[in-house]
Amino acid sequence: MTVSAPAKTHRATPGQTVGPFFAYGVEYPRMHEVASPHSPGAILLEGTVRDGAGQPVPDAFLEIFGADADGAVPRVRGAFHRDDHTFAGFGRAFTNDEGHFEFWTRNPGAAAGRAPFYAAIVYARGLPDKLHTRIYLPDDEAALAADPLLSSLTAEERATLVATRTEHGDLVHDIRLQGENETVFLVY
């Protein structure tokens, strides 16, 4: 006997915008230190979150997750624990009054034949749900050109996902929530 699931009787609930108690329960010590700033290979990933008018968003919240230098996804338990030795791949950062964020991390390696990138999630007031995006390393043009996501975008759209390397080896990447040069966001 085959039993089918009952038909849905309720509509899906929409996402909720970020409220006044957003930071409660998400902060933990050194949450922006995916890698210790003093560890070998540590780099700074920084940028600014901007709204549609180009103004900084002073109360956004970002999460990043990246593979290790070999392209392996970290499987370390306790991603919130920072011990100055373990690379967990995950970090969180709030923007400051100028919309600036920063993470201490390492360059991710290429995973599964894709160009190296950080998965990023952006939360901010007024957003009905979190926004998913990627931050790609700028170093390997051939890998960027062959990446399945990047190769499906226009040159202008690709530019919103690729970070800039500084002369010191760090990365700069701004996120634009809407408007001109809006960052490409992914739907899951």
d(CA 136, CA 107) in angstroms, rounded, equals 10
pLDDT at 177: 96
* DSSP code, position 174: -
* Overall pTM > 0.95: no
Domains along the chain?
42-176 (2.60.130.10)
pLDDT single digits (tens) 2-51: 444 456 565 655 555 555 556 666 888 889 999 989 888 999 999 999 99
pLDDT single digits (tens) 78-112: 666 677 777 888 999 999 999 999 999 999 998 77
Q: pLDDT band for position 1 (50/70/90)? A: very low
pLDDT at 79: 62
pLDDT at 2: 45
d(CA 125, CA 108) in angstroms, rounded, equals 30
As a whole number of Å, the CA-based R_g of the chain is 18
d(CA 31, CA 89) in angstroms, rounded, equals 11
pLDDT single digits (tens) 117-176: 999 999 988 787 899 999 999 999 999 999 999 999 999 999 999 999 999 999 999 999
